[in-house]
Protein backbone atom coordinates (compact mmCIF):
# COMPACT_ATOMS: atom_id res chain seq x y z
CA UNK A 1 0.00 0.00 0.00
CA UNK A 2 1.39 3.41 -0.97
CA UNK A 3 1.93 6.20 1.54
CA UNK A 4 -0.83 8.79 1.58
CA UNK A 5 0.49 12.33 1.69
CA UNK A 6 -1.54 15.23 2.99
CA UNK A 7 -1.98 17.83 0.26
CA UNK A 8 0.50 20.68 0.07
CA UNK A 9 -1.19 24.11 0.39
CA UNK A 10 -1.82 25.80 -2.95
CA UNK A 11 0.66 28.30 -4.30
CA UNK A 12 -0.51 31.48 -6.01
CA UNK A 13 1.77 32.93 -8.66
CA UNK A 14 0.03 36.28 -8.26
CA UNK A 15 0.98 36.95 -4.63
CA UNK A 16 3.83 39.42 -4.22
CA UNK A 17 5.73 37.47 -1.59
CA UNK A 18 4.59 33.95 -2.37
CA UNK A 19 7.62 31.80 -1.77
CA UNK A 20 6.57 28.22 -1.28
CA UNK A 21 10.12 26.86 -1.54
CA UNK A 22 11.07 26.62 2.16
CA UNK A 23 7.60 25.36 3.07
CA UNK A 24 7.77 22.71 0.36
CA UNK A 25 11.17 21.53 1.61
CA UNK A 26 9.67 21.13 5.11
CA UNK A 27 6.71 19.28 3.58
CA UNK A 28 9.06 16.79 1.89
CA UNK A 29 11.05 16.32 5.09
CA UNK A 30 7.90 15.84 7.18
CA UNK A 31 6.70 13.13 4.79
CA UNK A 32 10.17 11.58 4.50
CA UNK A 33 10.26 11.87 0.71
CA UNK A 34 13.84 11.17 -0.39
CA UNK A 35 13.58 9.93 -3.99
CA UNK A 36 14.47 12.82 -6.31
CA UNK A 37 12.04 11.72 -9.03
CA UNK A 38 9.22 11.72 -6.46
CA UNK A 39 10.32 15.08 -5.09
CA UNK A 40 10.25 16.66 -8.54
CA UNK A 41 6.86 15.13 -9.40
CA UNK A 42 5.41 16.33 -6.08
CA UNK A 43 6.87 19.80 -6.61
CA UNK A 44 5.34 20.22 -10.05
CA UNK A 45 2.06 18.58 -9.08
CA UNK A 46 1.65 20.48 -5.81
CA UNK A 47 2.64 23.83 -7.26
CA UNK A 48 -0.36 23.83 -9.55
CA UNK A 49 -1.11 24.36 -13.20
CA UNK A 50 0.02 28.01 -13.37
CA UNK A 51 3.46 27.13 -11.98
CA UNK A 52 3.75 24.12 -14.29
CA UNK A 53 2.93 26.38 -17.26
CA UNK A 54 5.72 28.74 -16.19
CA UNK A 55 8.11 25.82 -15.66
CA UNK A 56 7.41 24.56 -19.20
CA UNK A 57 8.82 27.83 -20.57
CA UNK A 58 12.24 27.22 -18.99
CA UNK A 59 14.87 26.19 -21.52
CA UNK A 60 16.75 23.92 -19.12
CA UNK A 61 14.25 21.86 -17.13
CA UNK A 62 16.62 19.02 -16.34
CA UNK A 63 15.67 15.37 -16.36
CA UNK A 64 12.74 13.70 -14.63
CA UNK A 65 14.96 12.78 -11.66
CA UNK A 66 16.54 16.23 -11.41
CA UNK A 67 14.61 17.74 -8.49
CA UNK A 68 17.34 20.22 -7.53
CA UNK A 69 17.40 21.82 -10.97
CA UNK A 70 13.61 22.20 -11.06
CA UNK A 71 13.51 23.59 -7.52
CA UNK A 72 16.32 26.06 -8.19
CA UNK A 73 14.79 27.23 -11.48
CA UNK A 74 11.38 27.84 -9.92
CA UNK A 75 12.85 29.45 -6.83
CA UNK A 76 14.93 31.77 -9.02
CA UNK A 77 11.87 32.74 -11.02
CA UNK A 78 9.69 33.51 -7.99
CA UNK A 79 12.32 34.88 -5.62
CA UNK A 80 11.87 38.65 -5.45
CA UNK A 81 14.81 40.65 -6.75
CA UNK A 82 16.52 42.54 -3.95
CA UNK A 83 17.30 46.24 -4.23
CA UNK A 84 20.28 46.40 -1.88
CA UNK A 85 20.22 50.20 -1.63
CA UNK A 86 16.58 50.17 -0.57
CA UNK A 87 17.18 47.36 1.93
CA UNK A 88 20.02 49.32 3.55
CA UNK A 89 17.77 52.39 3.64
CA UNK A 90 15.09 50.35 5.45
CA UNK A 91 17.69 49.03 7.92
CA UNK A 92 19.12 52.50 8.62
CA UNK A 93 15.63 53.91 9.27
CA UNK A 94 14.55 51.18 11.66
CA UNK A 95 14.08 52.68 15.09
CA UNK A 96 12.96 50.95 18.25
CA UNK A 97 9.23 51.28 18.76
CA UNK A 98 7.79 52.46 22.04
CA UNK A 99 7.18 49.41 24.20
CA UNK A 100 9.27 47.15 21.94
CA UNK A 101 11.68 44.96 23.89
CA UNK A 102 15.34 45.28 23.00
CA UNK A 103 15.45 41.58 22.01
CA UNK A 104 12.53 42.09 19.61
CA UNK A 105 14.20 45.16 18.14
CA UNK A 106 17.45 43.24 17.60
CA UNK A 107 15.55 40.38 15.98
CA UNK A 108 13.84 42.85 13.64
CA UNK A 109 17.20 44.40 12.76
CA UNK A 110 18.69 40.94 12.14
CA UNK A 111 15.87 40.19 9.67
CA UNK A 112 16.41 43.52 7.92
CA UNK A 113 20.19 42.99 7.79
CA UNK A 114 19.82 39.68 5.93
CA UNK A 115 18.92 41.44 2.68
CA UNK A 116 21.53 44.20 3.10
CA UNK A 117 24.49 41.92 2.40
CA UNK A 118 26.60 43.57 5.10
CA UNK A 119 30.14 42.20 5.47
CA UNK A 120 29.84 42.41 9.27
CA UNK A 121 26.12 42.31 10.08
CA UNK A 122 26.63 41.91 13.84
CA UNK A 123 28.73 45.08 13.99
CA UNK A 124 26.16 46.98 11.91
CA UNK A 125 23.37 45.85 14.22
CA UNK A 126 25.34 46.72 17.37
CA UNK A 127 26.13 50.20 16.04
CA UNK A 128 22.54 50.74 14.97
CA UNK A 129 21.20 49.69 18.38
CA UNK A 130 23.64 52.01 20.12
CA UNK A 131 22.40 54.95 18.06
CA UNK A 132 18.67 54.26 17.80
CA UNK A 133 17.59 52.27 20.86
CA UNK A 134 15.24 54.06 23.23
CA UNK A 135 17.00 53.52 26.59
CA UNK A 136 19.86 56.01 26.71
CA UNK A 137 21.59 53.94 29.42
CA UNK A 138 22.44 51.34 26.72
CA UNK A 139 24.39 53.93 24.77
Model pLDDT for residues 77-125, shown as the tens digit of each residue: 887 788 999 999 999 999 999 899 999 999 999 999 999 999 999 999 9
> Which H or E element spans position 124?
helix 121-132
pLDDT tens-digit series, residues 26-65: 889 988 999 999 999 988 888 888 888 999 999 888 888 9
Q: Residues 25, 74: one domain?
A: yes
For residue 139, what pLDDT is reported? 60
Phi, then psi, of 44 in degrees rounded to 5 = -70, -35
pLDDT tens-digit series, residues 81-94: 889 999 999 999 99
Query: Does 74 fall in a domain?
Result: yes
For residue 95, what pLDDT is reported? 92
Of residues 46, 86, 41, the one with CA closest to residue 67: 41
For residue 1, what pLDDT is reported? 38
Domain end call among 30, 60, 78 = 78
Residues 47, 40: Cα–Cα separation, whole Å: 11
Query: Does 12 fall in a domain?
Result: no
Query: Does 10 fall in a domain?
Result: no
Domain end call among 38, 59, 78 = 78
Question: 49-56 and 67-78 are packed helices; what angle lies between their axes, rounded to 10 degrees?
Answer: 100
For residue 14, what pLDDT is reported? 66
Number of domains in the chain: 2
Burial of 64 (0-12, 13-18, 19+ CB in 10 A): exposed
Range of the domain at 105: 84-138
Amino acid sequence: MANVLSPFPSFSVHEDNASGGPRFEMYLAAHDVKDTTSKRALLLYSAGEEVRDIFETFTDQGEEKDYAKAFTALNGYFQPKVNKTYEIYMFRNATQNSGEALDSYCTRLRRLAKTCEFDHADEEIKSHVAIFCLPSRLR
